[in-house]
Homo-oligomer: A and B are copies of this chain.
Amino acid sequence: MLYFDCDYNCGMHPAILRRLEETNGEYTGTYGLDCFSEGAKQRIQDACGDPEADIFFLAGGTQANAVVIDSLLKPWQGVVCAPSGHINVHEAGAVEYTGRKVMALPDHEDGKIRPEELQDFLQKFSDDGSRDHMVEPGLVYISFPTEMGTLYSAKEISDIHDVCKEYGCKLFIDGARLGYGLGAEVNDISLGFLADHCDSFYIGGTKVGAQFGEAVVFPHHGAPDHFFTIIKQHGALLAKGRFTALQFDVLFTDCLYEDIGRRADTFALQLRELFVRYGIGRPAVLSHTNQQFLILENSMIAKLRGLVKFEVWSATDEGHSLCRFVTSWATTQGDIDCLEDICKSVSGN
């Protein structure tokens, strides 16, 4: 069986496991006050070119989103995002659970928001005579890469950031799959660019080779007051914080983080190319990262089922469905070669 169902279906990157073994017997401080946390923060600050970045390690993406959004918003504000934004659809209302409204902009197939539509939205709120009766948009949430595997260009993020600044709005970037964005061939943004163009972003570990863990970055000493206590209040503080940090220490040694992304992206493009070449499927949206959305005939899906794991998302018409294929740090060239054999076989070529 080949596994392309998601990027968190295998264990952890071997380099992390190795480091766990080397350091397991050491005694350290707790709750993030330990040498691994210090080391990992240092490496991330270096990678961001921001020695003053405040960095915190949380366990998972939904948690990171809820805690950061809750703490960046003022009590009367809400968060703006794409309709397909993870916080709007697949987090069981975790943001609303903290008392905050999620406000969706117009929908686009590529999962991205448009600077000009954001501007319209914020201007309309600003002009509204009833604005004191409404939730003020206080933060914009985008994902890099998006839910559809697509990427914002540096120009787009810069434009969104400019609109945000114009309206006194903050910008937060969900980087659950950031490594696959940074590693994409077409990508033109860096961690340093991110640090200069938003109020917070997080560097996803869970989906990029870690056991668990996301590194939340508030550039330029931008962390909310008492953020440590706020993490605890949300039930998100781990006693053995060293384990989360250690993973990022490894991921940010010798560019491992970006390497993982680049490798997986390459395999993802090969996968797509195979599907197209053998007439098995066609891209639904142009993704440059490790998630590929392909439209397959239902009969083809049936043939692949016992050989390859992947997700069928929804019917696109009577005979076709939208499917998601995902590569990860664990995907190998052998997997792709094997996939080619399967493609040949099922396509009858």
Chain B nearest Cβ from A228, distance in angstroms? 5
Give Cα A9 to B93, complex, Å: 35
**Residue A60 interfacial (CB < 8 Å):** yes
Q: Which of A254-305 touch B at CB < 8 Å?
A: none
Are A239 and B60 neighbours in the complex by a CB distance under 8 Å?
A: yes
Q: Which of these binds chain B: A70-78, A164-172, A186-194, A341-349?
A: A70-78
From B100, B104, B211, B330, A243 is in contact (CB under 8 Å) with: B211
Copies in the complex: 4
Q: Are B94 and A96 in contact (CB under 8 A)?
A: no
Pick from B21, B28, B76: contact of A226, CB under 8 Å: B76
Asked if A133 and B90 sit within 8 Å, CB to CB, the answer is yes
CA distance A61 to B75 in the complex (A): 21
Can you give 12 A-B contacts (C-beta < 8 A)?
A8-B239, A9-B27, A62-B232, A62-B235, A63-B235, A74-B225, A76-B93, A76-B230, A92-B134, A92-B229, A136-B226, A136-B229
Q: Specify the chain B residue showing the minimal Cβ separation from A128.
A: B314
The reply to whether A212 and B240 form a contact with Cβ atoms under 8 Å apart is yes
In the complex, are the beta carbons of B76 and A233 less than 8 A apart?
yes
Which of A10-18, A42-50, A110-118 makes up part of the contact surface? A10-18
Q: Are B237 and A62 in contact (CB under 8 A)?
A: yes
A3 at the binding interface (Cβ < 8 Å):
yes
Per DSSP, are chain A's interface residues mostly helix, strand or loop, or mixed?
Answer: loop
B24 touching A14, Cβ below 8 Å: yes
17 new A-B contacts at CB < 8 Å, known A6-B30, A76-B93, A133-B237: A8-B239, A10-B27, A11-B25, A11-B26, A14-B24, A60-B236, A74-B225, A90-B134, A92-B135, A92-B230, A93-B135, A93-B233, A98-B99, A133-B229, A133-B232, A206-B239, A212-B240
Let me know if A99 and B101 touch, CB within 8 A. Answer: no
Indicate the member of A63, A92, A98, A99 with the most B CB atoms within 10 Å.
A92
Q: Which of A121-152 contact B (CB under 8 A)?
A: 129-130, 132-136
| Given known A-B contacts A25-B11, A27-B10, A243-B211, A92 and B76 have beta carbons under 8 A apart | yes
Q: List residues of chain B with CB within 8 A of the CB of A133.
A: 31, 90-92, 229, 232, 237
